[in-house]
A and B are shown apart, each in its own frame.
Chain A
Amino acid sequence: MFYYRSPGADQPITLQRARLTTGLALVLYPVGALLPVVAGSITAARLIGLCLIAIAFACALLMGKTTLQRIVGEEASRLDEYELKLRARATSMVYQILSALVLAGVFYLAVATDAGWWYPKSYEEFNGLFWGIFLYCFMLPGFILAWQAEATDLGPQD
């Protein structure tokens, strides 16, 4: 797990904003990466794809300092028992989702080679795949937590 620690970290975030930001990152990256593949490497499609990828990473940066990302990414020794419980619940779900994605990916590759569908071959395509997996590992726990948590888990409340 990853967590960007700095003096201004652990910023409260509203549930709606957390859901929107993490969701945008997870949707925009694959759309941006696959756009040139679908559109046939047209320059405009590549540019739009790059913009979408940049927005996805900007969303990840925005989440980096938040309470939500601290819960899923911080060292376990720096979390209390309730935060650990929230993290365990989220990571358990993330494990299932990532397992399903890996299985689906392997199945697709097996079928794609026989059916003549697109699959990553060049360095550029594998690079895109690598950063996509990196982004998903970073953002998916936060996304799941944002949907499992309640407003009082992330922001100030008394």
Chain B
Amino acid sequence: MRNRLRVLRAEREWSQADLAERLEVSRQAVNAVETGKHDPSLSLTFKIARLFGLRIEEIFDDEA
């Protein structure tokens, strides 16, 4: 699943570790989601959307 996580993170000048801390997951998990290696769970997806103040479909694209 494609996503805009890396772009959104860069806009806020957050490192992967910064984002990981905010989401309460490991830095490896953030990297895996960003690179599309791991599709986040529903709860993590909501957490990401809430953190960036966006709707889920504005961040994730399941048609890729």
A residues with CB within 8 A of B: 67, 79-83, 85, 150, 152-154, 156-158
The answer to whether the Cβ of B3 comes within 8 Å of any Cβ in the partner chain is: no
The interface on chain B, measured as residues whose beta carbon lies within 8 A of the other chain's beta carbons, has a size of 18
The answer to whether the Cβ of B2 comes within 8 Å of any Cβ in the partner chain is: no
How many residue pairs, one in A and one in B, have C-beta atoms under 8 Å apart?
40
CB contacts (< 8 Å) of A83 on chain B: these are 26, 28-29
Among B17, B27, B31, B40, contact of A81 (Cβ-Cβ < 8 Å):
B40
Q: Is the CB of A152 within 8 A of B41?
A: no
Question: Which 6 A-B residue pairs are closest in the complex by CB-CB distance?
Answer: A82-B29, A80-B25, A152-B31, A158-B15, A82-B32, A80-B29
Among A79, A81, A156, A157, contact of B41 (Cβ-Cβ < 8 Å):
A81
The answer to whether the Cβ of B38 comes within 8 Å of any Cβ in the partner chain is: yes
Complex: A117 Cα to B28 Cα, angstroms: 49
CB contacts (< 8 Å) of A156 on chain B: these are 17, 27
CB contacts (< 8 Å) of A157 on chain B: these are 16, 27, 31
CB contacts (< 8 Å) of A150 on chain B: these are 37
- Kindly identify, within residues 21 to 53 of chain B, every residue whose CB is under 8 Å from any CB belonging to chain A: 24-29, 31-33, 35, 37-38, 40-41, 44
Q: Is the CB of B16 within 8 A of A81?
A: no
Complex: A136 Cα to B28 Cα, angstroms: 26
Among B16, B29, B32, B37, contact of A158 (Cβ-Cβ < 8 Å):
B16
CB contacts (< 8 Å) of B25 on chain A: these are 80-82
Report 7 cross-chain contacts, Cβ distance below 8 Å, ordered by A residue. Answer: A79-B26, A81-B29, A81-B44, A82-B38, A152-B28, A152-B31, A152-B32
Min CB gap B26→A, angstroms: 5
Complex: A153 Cα to B17 Cα, angstroms: 13
